[in-house]
Amino acid sequence: CSWDAEEYGLLGSTEWVQDLSKVIYDRALSYLNADTAVSGHDHVAIASTPLLHSVLYTATKMTKCPNPQYPTVYDEWQHYNMIPGTRPYIANLGSGSDYTPFLQNLGITSFDLSYTYSEKDLASYPVYHSVHDTFYWVKKFADMNFEHHKAVGLIWLNVALQIAT
């Protein structure tokens, strides 16, 4: 889906969920969010409800890493966490993106996925919601060959396939 008015209180997704809550509650398995799919090319960042943790680990193990020093996204993600022998960190979802009405209002399991920057290099995604948040900026600075976009799409697809079967 593509939602309007996210920054004005998640109005688009909230109204849609409120209008169709019975149908969504009866039919939805999960809400898969990629609000800011790529804001950098350092590592993957994932926040999720616990029910999706295992499928996210599996999906990242199945996805070729766009950074050539790692075979899979999982391997890169694990390296970024720098705690040998542990699984990569999955944050808890709170609020602030369009998964909120699905999770908070209907209890629909959800995740938020993005390729991001290193916090030691940037304080935030520097062009977020500005006139400079353009195709040119993404191609020039964030994801020159769109390989990180492809990885996010493949993780998303692998999760969708796993929960559908």
- 6 flagged as catalytic: yes
Do 117 and 36 touch, CB atoms closer than 8 A? no
What is the rounded CA–CA span in Å between residue 118 and residue 122? 6
What is the rounded CA–CA span in Å between residue 79 and residue 81? 5
User: Taken in order 118, 124, 127, 133, is the CA torsion positive or negative?
Assistant: positive
Q: How many CA atoms are closer than 13 Å to the CA of 91, on its beta-carbon side?
A: 11
Residues annotated as part of the active site: 6
